[in-house]
Homo-oligomer: A and B are copies of this chain.
Amino acid sequence: MIKAYAAFEPKGELKPFEYDPGELQANEVEIDVHHCGICHSDLSVIDSEWGEMPYPIVPGHEVAGKITRVGSHVSALTVGQSVGLGWHAGYCNNCASCDSGDNNLCGSAQSTIIGHHGGFADKVRADAASVVAIPDGIDLSLAGPLFCAGVTVFTPLLEFNIKAGDKVAVIGIGGLGHLALQFLNAWGCEVTAFTSSEAKKQEALALGAHHTLDSRNAAEIGGAGASFDLIISTVNVKLDWGLYLSTLKPRGRLHFVGAVLEPLDINVFSLISSQLSVSGSAVGSPSTIKKMLAFVEQHNIKPVVESFSFDDVNAAIARVRSGKTHYRVVLSR
């Protein structure tokens, strides 16, 4: 039996929940969960914010742990190895996206926490194709947030061919944004953080931003002119997107990794006149996760976390709900 914490109703408190995972499938591994980050999307699923969810929900998709068992067809991972598991716990491995290594875009990808039990547990199982080895140089207690928050902001750098010297801005310096600033600084970019207070400004500079702009000051933002090659938005609230578009260079891109529920009211003229793109992406492929982990190890990038024990999972969730986390909450054994 696997001992987990589950929500049994929308917005419900998590309670202990045991389940029998059945026989280990040939393609699966079982991971002993040492640490698991808490992501805003865990709350969205607990709360059925994106539609009615199949309760009980065992959240947790920023898993760092060690492999305890491997299925009979698994050759790439071994018992005892340090690994992580993110948003996806399996792929079809047979569609055009999977064929191209874009497994995260597989239409049949299995979410780790919807219709599958996640990492708020002593153990979790997943398709070996979705589990990635964590290099020795990365502290296991800090690795979890890389598997969702980290890869979510790392993916656009690879996908859109961001180069050293490019000017990149980040909206929202939280769980995702604080990693984006570190990645972009190490990537050699000129990094701007949109921040809303003097305290956050100093933190953003410490995390790797070279400049800050006051996100509550439209005149200051507009005054930036056509500055940025890329803006990564990590927030889930509606902003004046036209204003942010005006800060992009010709050929620039406003890229969403935060799921704003309100439609974007984008002016086509601004896209046409400066050849701009507006886009979105979620997490990343196993291949991208591997590249990110190697980059994190090389540049000694460290998620900044607040630790809670698994027993305090409800307090930890309340902390995430408060929006005051610096910058990611991680449950640890």
Contacts and interface: CB of A to CB of B under 8 A. Distances in A.
Contacts of A279: 271, 275-278
Contacts of A318: none
A279 B275 CA distance: 7
Contact of A275 (B105, B253, B270, B278): B105
A178 to B, nearest CB: 20
A282 interface: yes
A107 interface: yes
Contacts of A97: 250
Nearest to A266: B264
A266 B267 CA distance: 11
Interface of A: 50, 96-97, 102, 105, 107, 159, 226, 249-251, 253, 256-261, 263-282
A80 to B, nearest CB: 35
Nearest to A273: B282
B265 A263 contact: yes
B271 A107 contact: no
Nearest to A258: B268
Contacts of A256: 268, 271-272
> How many copies of the shown chain assemble into the complex?
2
A266 B281 CA distance: 14
Contacts of A102: 250-251
Given A266-B278, A272-B282, 15 more contacts: A105-B274, A105-B275, A107-B250, A253-B277, A263-B265, A263-B267, A263-B268, A264-B266, A264-B267, A270-B280, A271-B281, A272-B281, A273-B282, A275-B282, A277-B277
A226 B281 contact: no
A228 to B, nearest CB: 13
Say whether chain A's binding surface is mostly helix, strand, loop, or mixed.
mixed
Contacts of A266: 263-264, 266, 278
A253 to B, nearest CB: 8
A125 B275 CA distance: 27
A265 B250 CA distance: 22
Contact of A278 (B260, B265, B271, B274): B271
Contacts of A277: 253, 277-279
A257 B278 contact: no
Contacts of A249: 96
A13 to B, nearest CB: 27
A257 B272 contact: yes
A251 B155 CA distance: 13
Contact of A280 (B263, B272, B282): B272
B272 A268 contact: no
Contacts of A159: 275
20 contacts: A97-B250, A102-B251, A107-B226, A107-B250, A257-B272, A259-B268, A263-B266, A264-B266, A266-B266, A266-B278, A269-B280, A271-B280, A272-B282, A273-B280, A275-B279, A275-B280, A276-B280, A277-B277, A277-B278, A278-B278
